[in-house]
A and B are shown apart, each in its own frame.
Chain A
Amino acid sequence: MDFVTMNILESSMVSLCKEMGIVLMKTSYSTIFNEALDFTCGLADMNGDMIAVADYCPAQIGGMPLLVKSCLKEIPIDEIEEGDVILHNDPYRGGLHTPEHTFFKPIFVDGEIMGFAVAIGHIAEVGGMAPGGFCGEATEIFQEGLRIPPVKIKKRGKDNIEVWKLLLANVRTPRVNYGDLRALIAAVDLGEKQMTQIYKKYGKEKIKETVNDLLLYSERRMRAELEAIPDGIYAFSDTIESDGIDAERTYTVAVEVHKRGGEIIVDYHGSSPQASGPINATLGVATSAAYNAVLHMTDPTIPRNSGCFRPIRVMAPPGTIVNVDFPAPEVGGNTETHPRIVGTILGAMAPAIPNRVMAAEGATHCNFVFGGVDADTGEYFACYDLEAVGWGGRAFADGNDGVDSINGNCRITPVEVYETRFPWRIESLAFNVDAGGAGEFRGGVGYSKQMLCLNDEIICSQMTDRHLLAPWGLNGGTEGGVGATLVMKNGREDWQTMREAYGKASTSRYSNVSIRRGDRVRLVTPGGGGYGEPAKRDPAAVAEDVREGYVSKAAAQKHYGYQEA
């Protein structure tokens, strides 16, 4: 292996992927792109294997190889021409969930196709029954937005106008969508242009050979990491509280992790049959989640490409909550069920590698989405927005307070940006005291965001979790605080759940609630579970938490026997 060329090529390709991401961030319109950075840019070889990635959003990493591969099964490679850009979002053809749009552009060198530049991004508004793409009460994928099979949005460098027209006729915010789609195309354009130069510089054969070595190198390092984990079959399960349709039913995510030698097999048999509501994960999500969990347990410096996923296998039985069958709804699988799967795998592995896991984190993105017609401008607005949660405690440190759930790495939108863009006034943004599970290392806390509606009407939907079933603690740590979504209608003085106020089946998943001027909404995000026996917690850490207001005196007395000095 030519390690020097490999090192240089790998860093050049990752740098290029980052540059694609910067173009996307700088030119896109939706806050989910340009503030939250919910996208991923990468490069694939002509088999669809991922060879380099700038994974701004980890939820998408496992999706990328699957996505390109499934598209290539439908569009034969000899029908792809120079200058084409292919667009795809279909969750039932290798996609993650409907809002996630994948663009890829072939890289041609001397008339020969060498690979693809790929960008995956979350488009905030995708049509369907509720503005913002997250309809908590959908029962079919058709209600969740426009499904796009692999189509050419550009052909030989020219816009495919008919496709554009179809796309933009089916969404509520065509101006914004146009900007976001243009940004995604600009990203793959840049990737294609610069990767072509890299091919020309080193030569096609040298790159093929080096990329092959690079994938082998990542695979070898991943196997070495896995070999260091004790062999065994590790099982764990967790429960999702509701699907938004049937209030009484709960859903099990079950994993059996087979660790043998340099391989790991994640078997989901035993997970619940698929739900009627949109909490189902696609195979892409179940695969991504397994990769994500394994990446958290292993050395984060391994170059991320298809090679490091070769030792990982996923068995996701069809017709279950982890591999939904057509045409059930699935939008929440990517944001909610994904982190739940990761947490379940980490929970399973806790006895084997206690230093590489954490107690349950909040495991939701809150996903409070809304839309309406702005009373001042008359323009339709739509927003997908997310919130941070508490991390679980770890064997060596407390859980972090207020951090995006484990499958995203998205930034929350600043209050001043939010209020400038949308007709809400945010009245407070404050940590939830005592919401971190107690333990030798406590869980992180979530926060509460309270908002006042300033428009005649805003249509709101949500897809969140952990309102009823709290994040679990580990090795004696206690549960983290639950989340909530509450509404105080104009003229009332009490807070109600969405179930109480609007008769919704679930408090955490619902669609198309009409929030009126003067109504208030409060989003409470869950905390993380604690790790280890609370009695073992360092008294100085308890005192510091009380002083800093993360733990009340009463709770400190109860869990830690705290005495005021």
Chain B
Amino acid sequence: MKFSLNGLYIESYTKCANCGVLIYEASAEDSARKKVHDGSIYCSQECVDWKLDRDARRAKAAV
């Protein structure tokens, strides 16, 4: 989530593509944990892994 330079309003909302939590641009903690995978932003590696597991599981179920 990105605030305007003057801090008075929100310019854009960023959420983890897997679990949906807000990722604050100004938060050092959030920045340190976040991962980009396949063009999407994730809050953490754990969420990337979860997504990959789910995709694999659902692909297997479809076969």
Contact = CB atoms under 8 A, between A and B. Distances in A.
Nearest to A317: B20
Nearest to A286: B20
B22 interface: yes
Interface string B18-38: 111110101100000000000
B20 A315 contact: yes
Nearest to B46: A313
B48 to A, nearest CB: 12
Contacts of A93: 22
A267 B50 CA distance: 10
A269 B54 contact: yes
B54 A283 contact: no
Contact of A325 (B10, B15, B24, B26): B15
A315 B27 contact: no
Contacts of B13: 92, 325-326
Nearest to B26: A73
B15 A323 contact: yes
B54 A316 contact: no
A42 to B, nearest CB: 21
Contacts of A317: 17-18, 20
**Interface size, A (range):** 10 to 19
| SS class, residues of chain B in contact with chain A | loop
A318 interface: yes
Contacts of A314: 19-20
A124 to B, nearest CB: 27
Interface string A74-113: 0000000000000000001110000000000000000000
Interface string A259-290: 00000000101000000000000010010000
Nearest to B40: A318
Interface in A303-328: 313-318, 323, 325-326
A70 interface: yes
A283 B24 contact: no
Contacts of B27: 73
A92 B22 CA distance: 9
A356 to B, nearest CB: 26
A70 B22 contact: yes
A315 B19 contact: yes
A316 B20 contact: yes
Contacts of B50: 267, 315
A317 B10 CA distance: 21
A326 B15 CA distance: 11
Contacts of A70: 22
Given A267-B54, A283-B21, A318-B16, 14 more contacts: A94-B22, A267-B50, A269-B54, A283-B22, A313-B19, A314-B19, A315-B47, A315-B50, A316-B19, A317-B18, A317-B20, A318-B15, A318-B20, A323-B15
Interface of A: 70, 73, 92-94, 267, 269, 283, 286, 313-318, 323, 325-326
Interface of B: 10, 13, 15-22, 24, 26-27, 47, 50, 54
9 tightest Cβ-Cβ pairs between the two chains A and B: A316-B20, A318-B15, A323-B20, A315-B19, A318-B20, A326-B13, A283-B20, A73-B24, A315-B18
